[in-house]
Amino acid sequence: MKLNDTDRGPLNDNETPLIEPKRARRASDDTQLIGSDAESPAGHDAHQANAGRRLIDPDATAPMDVTSIDESVFTLSLPFKKTMVAADTRDTPSEAETASIAVLLRDDGKEVSADVAEHERMIRPTPAVFLPGNKQRTTRSILTIIISIVTVLALVGVGILFAVKSQAATPEQQAFEAYSARQLTVATADRTLTSTYSAISTATTEAESVNLAAAAALAAVAGVSDETARAAAETQRVTTAAAIAEVVAVDPAETPYAAPGVSAGSSLSVIGAALDEISAEATRIEAAQLELDAALTAITDARTAFATAFTTFTDTIPATATALIEANTDAGQEWRDAVSTAVTALTTAVKNGGGAAELQAYAAAAFALQDENARVLLEQQESVDSEENTTPQTPNRPRNDSNPDPVTPPRPTPPAPGPVVPPVIPEVPEEPVPVDPPTDPVPE
């Protein structure tokens, strides 16, 4: 049985409330009285009447017929809304009854308060608890889960890999794996051998081209360079050409490498024979590689020696050119500038590994300067000679005091002349006789 606040009657000033202003439940004995009758409206009314009767008379056990009760016999009484009265019945319960009811209602109030508190605790949302320093605990938890999954997958993959590797292979499979690895090594060595031979061919061709150009350049500068340095460079050029000509390299294409025809399904004996064959090929290729390496080194060293001698010679050209310009001042300025420009170009080209063509250009500019200077001097000499030939001279006649011709009076005697000063003729430097430069034989 449930008691609501609306079931209570109004309280007087001197009345003590026996029911708390909250919902309360009856004791288990009242609940048992409800039974199945409480499920219908009539049963509920009967239960209300019986409950009220039990509160008034605890000894009453029989249910009351609510249909036969007259409403006029009920009156308001504390603490119930309706109380059945009779001539021999008190309006108010006794103190013992009031105390019993108070104890019963207090117990029901405690149970209701406990139920309400539990219900409020269940429906109240639980706030998220974050520890200090862990404000992103949810994100970190997700990351931890992902990392754990990845770690597990990695461990599984490694385990599978080791399981596959640990499977026992047949002797044929092991031999074929060894053959495949060895065959790959030999094929790589053969490609390296072919590449080395190509490098030797390229270096030899370049050395021959440089030798021809250097021979022509060194011959061209004879007479306008330091002869000692030029001779040393020429000697080194001949030595380099001879050293390169002595280099012999065998083309690997003459003995090509061919891998044996072995497959994964071949027998153990076939694979073993193939291993022996490629081992022999590996030995042959290694020996050929050593020979080609030595040949390439010889060519490189010879070219380096000539490059050093050629650079040493070209380092003397600027000083020689300066002296040449100072000795040919009668030529125009453009001729001297041409020599300076050629020297600058030669210096730059030698730093970049060339210089033969620029050396020939310098020789041409230097000889042109000398020729122009000689031409100017020759013109000056011819001009002086022409002036001397066109100057008039007075003939000297013998002196005679007698005048045989009486008609012609004698000429008065001029005063004695002073000392005769001969004309100053500028000295003309002797023109050098051109000499053809010696030509060195070009080595084949």
pLDDT band at 100 (very low <50, low <70, confident <90, very high): confident
Average pLDDT value for residue range 171-178:
86
The pLDDT value given to residue 344: 96
Contact 100, 40 (CB under 8 A): no
Distance of CA 431 to the CA centre of its chain: 70
| Section 186-209 average pLDDT | 95
Q: How many helices (H) and strands (E) does the chain have?
A: 10, 4
Instruction: Tell the residue number behind the tokens 């891998």, with chain if given.
Output: 259
Average pLDDT value for residue range 320-331? 94
pLDDT band at 17 (very low <50, low <70, confident <90, very high): very low
Contacting residues for 165 by C-beta, under 8 A, at least 6 apart = none
* pLDDT tens, residue by residue, 347-361: 999 999 889 999 999
**Least confident interval from 43-57, 175-189, 212-226, 232-246:** 43-57
Buried b (16+ CB within 10 A) or exposed e, 411-435: eeeeeeeeeeeeeeeeeeeeeeeee
**Which tops the pLDDT comparison, 139 or 218?**
218
| Of 30-39, 48-57, 261-270, minimum mean pLDDT range | 30-39
Element (H, E) at 240: helix 227-246
Average pLDDT, the chain: 74
Confidence of residue 22 (pLDDT cuts 50, 70, 90): very low
Give residue limits of the domains in the chain: 2-123, 171-300, 316-385
Other CB atoms within 10 A of residue 408 CB = 8
What pLDDT shows up at residue 136?
53
Cα–Cα distances (Å) from 303 to 94, 135, 235, 290, 300, in that order, read 138, 74, 13, 20, 5
pTM of the entire predicted model: 0.48
When pLDDT is averaged across residues 144-157 and rounded to a whole number, the result is: 87
**Residue 120 scores a pLDDT above 90:** no
